[in-house]
Amino acid sequence: MAADRHPATPGTGDPGWEAAAASEDEIPEATQVFATALNIPLPDLVDTERDHPVNDTDRFLLVRDGARVAGTVNSHLFSLSVPGGPRPAAGVTGVGVLPTHRRRGILSALMRGQLADLRRRGENLAVLWASEGGIYGRYGYGRATRQYTVTVSRAHAALRPDAPRDPSLTLELAAPADVLPDLDLLHRAAQAERNGGFPREGNWWPLRLWMLSRPQADTSDLRAVLVRDARGRPVGSALHRLTTGFGHGGLPTGRVTAREVNALTPAARTALYEYLFATDLTVETEIIGLPEDDPLPALLADPAQAVRSGGAGLWLRLVDVPAALSERTYARPLDTVIEVADRYAPWNAGRWHLKTDGEDTRVEATTADPDLSLDAAHLGAAHLGRGPVTTHVDAGTAAEHTPGAAARLDTALYTPRAPRCDTGF
Ligand SMILES: CC(=O)SCCNC(=O)CCNC(=O)[C@H](O)C(C)(C)COP(=O)(O)OP(=O)(O)OC[C@H]1O[C@@H](n2cnc3c(N)ncnc32)[C@H](O)[C@@H]1OP(=O)(O)O
């Protein structure tokens, strides 16, 4: 599409970049290009890739400049939790363009080529973690989850007196690799509760633990804390590391950094938080990756002591708009016409009549007047139920032609729990 061509750097001419599949023997060069693009040493990546279970070489796409690789993109196939159940989704990763070749349209060529490739594969959704949030909106991705780091100072970490507590629960400290089946069981239960995540099949657990265990100065090894019920069954788990420090007068300044707080029962969650907040030689606990509606503030005696930062999340894209909208469920019946703009996946552009009773959904092309006009990225942000289209109408980047149409769409897309993805890729 002529409108998608980006001007070349003055004087270089526009080479008309094309993304094409990588051959097996180009993968090492592609990996080197990605490492160079990310400004990281190759061994960091190579270790990751070597242990990677799902590095399917036929999912790499490259842009070549003559004989050399100038840009790369890759993806993994996941089973992503969406409203209505798990669905195939491409986890886009490995995006990198050589520093010598930037701002000349190579990423745009890769994105366009990858979307066409995913459509051919019948993968109706694509998700990614963005290195910088400003990059992917133009390609039809919208931020579909918002995840926070919550910091609680030890001095103000008391939970409410009526927080559910079960004296029969016990705590166990372990090396994560030694309790992997228990961690996996609790992780799968957490995935079933919220959309936006995927089970860690194959080698994803070892890879995840490797990433979280990388050496850091003055920081402990990665530890798992498990909560067990009276029969010894796991009902809660969290991963954490401890940073040691001493300030003026030798006073401790250590910190607990925790993540993946998964609990089957409210009492198990209380036990985990009380454990994480009460570590000697630390002054605060930070918990990374909490969804926006995590119960922690509701458990604290003073909810304002849960100090929230961040808000990055998983970006989602409807590769095939009618197929993706048909394969999820809805909280309410809906009958609406949506006009979609989509520069990078032109098969999605046009008007779609969406009719659902909540479970059974039909999405068909139509020439009827639209109730709403929006960008594919707005649908991506909204798909997991917590990225209101109304916000984009208010911002003036989407248009409502029938009063209340955005609110009705938001209500139908809504999910009672906020989505969350707890695995980087
Ligand atoms: C899912 C992941 O893998 S996340 C990892 C992403 N990779 C990195 O961050 C590695 C370092 N960066 C890079 O390799 C490159 O700069 C990339 C991949 C981000 C961009 O590649 P380029 O080939 O320079 O992008 P391209 O020239 O196609 O630019 C396309 C558009 O994106 C914009 N853009 C490019 N990089 C950025 C950025 N970092 N932030 C905001 N906008 C950006 C361009 O201005 C251009 O905008 P336009 O469509 O309005 O004209």
107 CA distance to ligand 1 centroid (A)? 6
Q: CA 203, CA 188: separation in Å to the nearest integer? A: 15
6 C-beta closer than 6 A to ligand 1 = yes
Name the binding residues: 95-97, 103-108, 131-132
How much is the mean pLDDT over the chain? 93
Q: Which domain holds residue 68?
A: 2-123
Domain membership flag for residue 421: no
Which candidate, 100, 75, 104, places its Cα nearest to that of 88?
Answer: 75
pLDDT > 70 fraction of the chain, expressed in percent and rounded: 94
Q: What is the mean pLDDT of residues 48-73?
A: 82
> What's the confidence (pLDDT) of residue 317?
98
Please check whether residue 235 lies inside any domain of the structure: yes
The last residue of a domain, from among 281, 310, 339:
310
Are both 301 and 163 inside the same structural domain?
Answer: yes
- Say whether pLDDT at 196 is over 60: yes
139 with 105: CB under 8 angstroms? Answer: no
Give a yes or no: residue 140 inside a domain. no
Q: Both 151 and 203 in a single domain?
A: yes
Q: Indicate whether 344 and 246 sit together in one domain.
A: no
Residue 10: per-residue pLDDT: 38
Q: Which atom of ligand 1 is nearest to the CA of 92?
A: 1
Q: Are residues 346 and 396 in the same domain?
A: yes
Q: What total number of domains does the chain contain?
A: 3
Of 123, 158, 187, the residue that ends a domain is: 123
Ligand 1 and 130: CB distance under 6 A? yes
319-361 residue pLDDT tens: 999 999 999 999 999 999 999 999 999 999 999 999 999 999 9
Q: Is residue 269 part of a domain?
A: yes
Give pLDDT tens digits for 218-238: 999 999 999 999 999 999 999
Give the pLDDT confidence of 103-122 residue by residue, as tens digits: 999 999 999 999 999 999 99
Maximum separation of any 2 CA atoms in the chain, in Å: 74
- Tokens representing 102? 């930037």
CATH number for the domain including 387? 3.30.1050.10
Structure ipTM over 0.95, yes or no:
yes
137 part of a folded domain: no
CB 175 within 8 Å of CB 318:
no
Are 21 and 108 in the same domain?
A: yes
Q: Are 303 and 332 in the same domain?
A: no
Q: pTM higher than 0.90, yes or no?
A: yes
Q: Does any domain span residue 134? A: no
The preferred substitution site among 17, 33, 73, 97 for testing ligand 1, maximizing ligand atoms within 8 Å of CB, is: 97
pLDDT of residue 198: 96
Q: Are residues 118 and 25 in the same domain?
A: yes
Residue 408 lies in a domain: yes
Same domain, 165 and 289: yes
Q: Residue 164: which CATH number?
A: 3.40.630.30
The pLDDT of residue 207: 87
Nearest CA to ligand 1 atom 11: 37
- Is the confidence at residue 15, as pLDDT, over 90? no
